[in-house]
Structure 1
Amino acid sequence: NSGSKDDSITNFTKPQFVGSTAPNATVIIKINGIAVGQAVADSLGNFTFTAPETLTDGTYNLEAEAKTADGSGSAKLVITIDSVTDKPTFELSPESSVSGHKGLTPTLTPSIVGTAEENAKVDIYVDNKLVASVDVDKDGNWSYEFKDNELSEGENSIKVVAVDKAGNKNETTDSIITDTIPPEKPTIELDDSSDSGIKNDNITNSTLPTFIGVAEPGSTVSIYLGLKHLGEVIVAKDGTWSYTLTTPLKDGEYNITATATDIAGHTSATANLPFTIDTRISYFSAEIETTDDSGIVGDNVTNNTRPTFTGKTEPNAIISVINSETGEEVIFKANDKGEWTFNFTSDSVEGVNNLTFTVEDVAGNKKDFSFSYVIDTVAPVPPTVSLEDFVVLPNGIILSGNDLPALVGTAEPKSTILLMRDGKLYDSIEVDSNGTWNYQFSNKFLQGAYDIEIIS
C-alpha cells in the first residue's frame, strides 16, 4: 500500500491483500468479477492473497467471498494501480524571466511555474538541498516563489521531484541563472585607425572617428555624444565592441560617453572619453631672431651666416625645415606653447636662402610653409650724392641758390641709405633696383652753410 495508507491506491502491480473472516474459512478472490485464486484463513480468521498476475495501471473491483460449513459472506474493495507519474516541468515565470534567455532572471527571488500529475506533491531542491514542497492543483499546475538566501548569484542547479498519490516519483533538473549585479562600466578609446598623430592623446584628424572598448560579453553598449544618443552596439563574445560615428564632426573638443546594459537589464556606470577633432594646422610664423637680425629688424636680411630662427605654431608640433640652397635639414619640436627656435649647423649662402618648413601637429595634420631670408656680408658700394642745381666755388664749396634743393645719387640697388644733416640723422632713402636714388627736401633751408652726408 504505497503512498497514503487509506486511499486504496498503490504502485505495486502485483499487490498483496490481507483480510479477516471466520477461522479456517476458504476465501475466493475475484477481480472485476473473475475468480483469480483463493486463500484459507488461519485459526484466527486472518488471510493473505497476492495477485497471481501483474496488474496494469487502472481501477479494479476486488471481492473476497468466504465460505464455511455455516454459510458464506463477502467483502468488496475498489483499488487503483498507479505505477508511474508524469515527469514534472518548470520554468521561470514571465515576470521573473528575461525574454530570449532561458533560465536567466534579474532577481534572487524569482517565481517558477510548472506542471506535474494532478494532486501530486512537488519537492524543490537547490544544489541538492530541499528548500520547499508545494502541492499540484487538480489541473496539474504548480508554482513557487523563492525566498531570500535560497538562490545565490550566478548559476543554481534546480531539481524538481514530483511524488504522486501512489508514491511514484519523477524528477526534472535544470539551471536558473541569477544576475542581479550591474556590469562593469565599459572601456572606451579611439581605435588605432582613427588615432592619428601622437597615439593615445585623444586628438584625431578624423571627422568620423571609430571608438572601441571592452564590456561584458552580450551586453548592449549605448553611445552618447554629450546628451545626444548616437546608437547602440552588442558586445562580442570576446568582450570587445566598436562604433563609428556616422555624422562628421567639426573641429573642436567633444566628450563621448558609454554605458553597458547586460542581458538581465542592469546598466553600468558611465564611461567617458574627452577627445579633440583637429583637421588642420591653424597658424605658423617664422622670423630671424632679433639679436641675429642685423641692420633693419624684421627685413629678413642679415650679415649673420648662421642666424637663429624663431616662431610659433601649434603646441608640440614636429617641424622639419630644409634650406633649398644648402640642402641641410633640421627637425625639431615646438614646446607646449607652440614656441620654437633652431639653428642650422652650416653657413647659409650669400644672397637669398629659401626655406621650406613642414609642420605636423599632434593630430597628424601636415602643411608646408615657405620662408626666405637674405645673407649679406659684403659691404655696399659707397654711395654718391650731388645737387641737381648747384655751382662749385674755387674754394670747393658747393653753392646752391635753391632753398628747397633736390639730391640725387647712386648706391647699392634696393638698399636703404641714411641722409645725415650736420651730423644728425635727417631721413632714410630707398634705392631703386637700378641703384639710383633722389631726395627732395620739403623744409626750406635758411641761408648758410650745411654739411650733407649719405651713409649706406
Structure 2
Amino acid sequence: IRVVAEDPAGNTAESPRLLVTIDTSTFIDNPAMVAGSDNGIFSNDSITSQTRPTFSISGEMNQSVQIFIDGVLVDTITVTDRNQVYRPESPLGDGSHSIYYVITDKAGNTATSKTLNFTIDTFNTTPVAIDSIGGQTLAEMTGSDGKIYITDTTRNLLFSGSAEPNSKIEIIINGLNVGEVWVNEKGHWQMPVNPLYFTEGQLDITVKSTDRAGNVNQEKYSIWVDTHIQVFTSEIDDNKSSSKTDWWSNSSTITMRGMGEIGATVSLIVAGVTLATAVVAANGQWELSTDQLPEGKYDITLSIEDNAGNRKEEVHEIFIDRTPPNAPVVTYSDIVNDLIIMQGTAEAKSQLIITDSNGNTYTLTVPDNGKWSMAIPYPSEGKFTITSVDAIGNRSDDVSLDIMKEVPVISLSPDSDSGTVGDNITRDKQPTFIIGNLESDVVVVQVDINGTVYNAEKNADGVWFFTPGTPLADGSYTISVIASDAAGNQKNSLPITVTIDSTLTVPEIALAAGEDNGVSDSDNVTNHTQPKFTLQHIDADVTGVTVNVTHNGVTDTYQATQGADGWTFTPPAAWNDGTYTLSVTVVDRAGNSQQSASLAVTVDSTVTVTADSQHDDASDDATATAVTPPESETVNAE
C-alpha cells in the first residue's frame, strides 16, 4: 500500500510503499509413523517396538508447530522442510499413545492436525506352547523314556497351543516353515500340519510367536515320530523242534532272546498273565528267562512295546516236557563174528544211544512198536551204557550192560615148559602158567588144578600168571582157568593137561657081549676097533641118547641108536689102539637129563713079539703086526 498527494498546482508526492499481507488461515498435515519406525508385522498399523518412533511433519513452511503426545505439549519446532520428521527426545513407555500437532502462523492463524493413536510394544513374553497334537496332550504323547512321540501320521495333525494374543504363530519343522496362524484374542491358536512333514525319527520343531510390534518369542521341541515297531525277532534257547515258530523245551528255566528296538519292553504273556519282561539293550538285543512255564503244549505271547507305545505281538506254540522216558529194557541174544546182537524195548520214536567201553557211540530210532535191535562191534571190556532220549531231549536213566565174550586161555610159561615147548610136559614141579585172552576189565582169575582152585596174580605189566605155592608131584594134571569181571560175568577156559616129570633113570654103558674079548671078559679090553656097546636103564620117555667118547683129550659126541635089542652104540669108524672113555647122556621129554658113569675101554688090535738077535744084520727085536689069532686059539710067539 502507498499514498499519493497532489496540490492544487498539480504537484504530487508519493509515500513509501507499505507491504501488507492478508493471511486468514494456515495448515498442518496429520502425523504419520514413518516406515522405519512402523516396524511390526504391518507397516501401516502404527504399532512399533521402538520407544522413540519417528513421525512425519508437513505444514506451512517456517511456521511454529507445537507437538502434543498423550495431550501434553512436549516440543515446539519450526517447519523448515517438506519432509521434516519428529522423534521424541525421551523414550515412551509400552502401551497406547497419541500424537497431534498445532501450527500457528505469523498472522496468528492456527491449525490442529488429527490425533494419531499409536502403540509402543517392546516385548513378547507370553509363553509359547504346544498344548496338544492330533488331540493328544504332550503328556499323553510322552513315552516311557520321557520323549514326546507322534505315533500316527495317517492324517493331518492339528497342533494346538497358546501364545500372546493376536500374535502370529509359525511352525518350523527341521528348519522348514510348514505354516502360519494368528493367535486369537484369548491367546489360543490351532494349525493343521500335513503328515508328509513327519518322517520317522527325531523332529526339531520350533513354534515362533511374532506380535504386531515385531517382538518374537519362541519355544523349541524335540519330537520323535515312531509309528510302528521296526524290528522284533524272537527265539528260544536250545529249541528241540525243527520249526522256528513252534518251540519245544525240556529245561526247567526257559530262556528266550531276540532283537528289538532299543529301550523297548518285551513281555512274556501266558493266559493273560505277564510272567517275565526284558528291556532291549543298547545293542538291540533282549533276553528273558522264566521258570514258571508248566509242562504241556499251549500258546505263549511275546509282546514288545516301544517307548512311543507302539506294540507288536508274536504267538508261539510251546511244548514243555521235562519228564524223562522210562529206562530201556536191554538183552542180548548172541555174539557173532565179534558182533553182539543187542535187543530190547524202549519208548517209541525215542532215540536210543548206546555207548561202549571204548567210547564209541551208536544210535537208532526206536520203531513205533517200541521194539529195537542192533548189532554192535564188541568192545575191549564188553561194557555198554544204553540211554533212551525222547524227541524233546529228556534222557532216561542209563542202563548198563556188561558182557564177557573172550574165553581165557592158560598155558605153560615158556620158561617152565622144560621139554619140547608146547607139549605141556615139564620137569618143573612149581611151573608158572600164563593166562591170556582176558578182557581188560577182568578182576579175578582162578586156576583149577584137578578140582582145586587157586587165585592167579597180575604182574606189573598187566599179565595174569599162576605159580603153585608148593611143588606138584609127578603126574598128569587137568588145569583150567576161570576169569571173572566186576559185573560177575565168568568165562572158563578149555582145560589143558600138564605132565610133571621130574625124574629120569641114570643110564649105564657097557661093552656088548663078545666085545670084551681079551684074556678077561670083564677087563674092558678089546681088539675090536669098532666095538659095540649096549646102553642100559634107558627110560621109555627119553627123547635123546648121546654117547660122549674122549680119546687123547678130545671128546666126540655120537647119537645112540635104538633097535630090537635095545639101545646100542658102535663107533662109526675104526678106532686106533688106545684107551677110550665113554659116557652116555639121556634127556627125556620133560627136559630131565642124566649121565652115566664113565666107562674106560682099551682097544688093542696088535701083537708084539720079542726074540734074541742071531745075526749081525738083524735088529735087536722083531715085531709082528696085524697078527689075528684064529677063533678059540691062542698063539704064543717064541
TM-score bracket, normalised by the shorter chain, equals 0.5 to 0.7
What is the CA RMSD across the aligned residues, in angstroms?
Answer: 3.8
CA apart distance, 1:49: 0.7
Indicate the larger mover: 353-362 or 215-224.
Answer: 353-362
2:198 alignment partner AA = L
Contact 1:320–1:329 under 8 Å retained in 2 = yes
Correspondent of 1:310 among 335, 340, 343: 343
Correspondent of 1:278 among 311, 319, 322: 322
Pair 106,168 (structure 1): closer, same or farther in 2 beyond 3 Å: same
Pair 229,235 (structure 1): closer, same or farther in 2 beyond 3 Å: same
- Aligned pairs (5 A) from 1:385-404: none
Q: CA separation in 2, counterparts of 1:148 and 1:261?
A: 23
Pair 336,77 (structure 1): closer, same or farther in 2 beyond 3 Å: farther
Pair 20,232 (structure 1): closer, same or farther in 2 beyond 3 Å: farther
Greater relative CO, 1 or 2 (CA 8 Å, sep 6+): 1
1:74 aligned to 2:116? no
Sequence identity, in percent?
24
CA displacement 1:252-302 (0-9 Å, x = unmatched): 44543323233334332525364442331334121224xx3xxxxxxxxx7
Q: CA separation in 2, counterparts of 1:329 and 1:107?
A: 64
Contact 1:119–1:136 under 8 Å retained in 2 = yes
Contact 1:119–1:165 under 8 Å retained in 2 = yes
Indicate the larger mover: 200-209 or 104-113.
Answer: 200-209
- The structure having more radius of gyration, on CA atoms, is 2
Corresponding residue for residue 244 of structure 1 = 289
Correspondent of 1:90 among 111, 130, 137: 130
CA apart distance, 1:373: 6.0
1:85 alignment partner AA = N
Corresponding residue for residue 103 of structure 1 = 148
Correspondent of 1:217 among 262, 270, 276: 262
Pair 317,215 (structure 1): closer, same or farther in 2 beyond 3 Å: farther
Corresponding residue for residue 168 of structure 2 = 121
Contact 1:189–1:273 under 8 Å retained in 2 = no
Correspondent of 2:306 among 254, 259, 262: 262
**Unaligned segments of structure 2, at least 5 residues:** 1-37, 409-638
Correspondent of 1:235 among 279, 288, 296: 279
Contact 1:125–1:131 under 8 Å retained in 2 = yes
Corresponding residue for residue 37 of structure 1 = 75
Aligned length: 351
Contact 1:13–1:56 under 8 Å retained in 2 = yes
Contact 2:276–2:290 under 8 Å retained in 1 = no
SS in 1 for 2:136: helix
CA apart distance, 1:136: 0.4
Pair 303,243 (structure 1): closer, same or farther in 2 beyond 3 Å: closer
Pair 367,74 (structure 1): closer, same or farther in 2 beyond 3 Å: same
Pair 39,318 (structure 1): closer, same or farther in 2 beyond 3 Å: farther
Q: CA separation in 1, counterparts of 2:342 and 2:323?
A: 27
Q: CA separation in 2, counterparts of 1:6 and 1:174?
A: 34
CA displacement 1:409-433 (0-9 Å, x = unmatched): xxxxxxxxxxxxxxxxxxxxxxxxx
CA apart distance, 1:41: 1.8
Corresponding residue for residue 62 of structure 2 = 24
Contact 2:269–2:302 under 8 Å retained in 1 = yes
CA displacement 1:20-46 (0-9 Å, x = unmatched): 3333211122334554433322476x6
Q: CA separation in 2, counterparts of 1:308 and 1:161?
A: 91
Contact 2:51–2:122 under 8 Å retained in 1 = yes
Corresponding residue for residue 610 of structure 2 = none
SS in 2 for 1:149: helix
1:187 aligned to 2:225? no
TM-score, normalised to structure 1, is 0.64
Corresponding residue for residue 51 of structure 2 = 13
Q: CA separation in 2, counterparts of 1:340 and 1:56?
A: 109
CA apart distance, 1:17: 0.8
Contact 1:126–1:156 under 8 Å retained in 2 = yes
Contact 2:231–2:259 under 8 Å retained in 1 = no
1:367 aligned to 2:397? yes
Corresponding residue for residue 409 of structure 1 = none
Q: CA separation in 2, counterparts of 1:354 and 1:141?
A: 91
Correspondent of 2:332 among 288, 308, 318: 288
Correspondent of 2:183 among 136, 151, 173: 136
CA apart distance, 1:245: 3.5
1:51 aligned to 2:88? yes
CA displacement 1:26-74 (0-9 Å, x = unmatched): 1122334554433322476x64211223333233343422221133343
CA apart distance, 1:162: 1.5
CA displacement 1:143-174 (0-9 Å, x = unmatched): 22222423223322222222211122333332
SS in 2 for 1:307: strand
Q: CA separation in 1, counterparts of 2:384 and 2:352?
A: 18
Indicate the larger mover: 203-212 or 133-142.
Answer: 203-212
Corresponding residue for residue 364 of structure 2 = 334
Contact 1:220–1:232 under 8 Å retained in 2 = no
CA apart distance, 1:115: 2.0
Pair 253,317 (structure 1): closer, same or farther in 2 beyond 3 Å: farther
Q: CA separation in 1, counterparts of 2:336 and 2:200?
A: 82
CA displacement 1:181-215 (0-9 Å, x = unmatched): 3443431312x7xx79x9x9955432342323322
1:55 alignment partner AA = L
CA apart distance, 1:122: 0.8
Corresponding residue for residue 445 of structure 1 = none
TM-score, normalised to structure 2, is 0.48
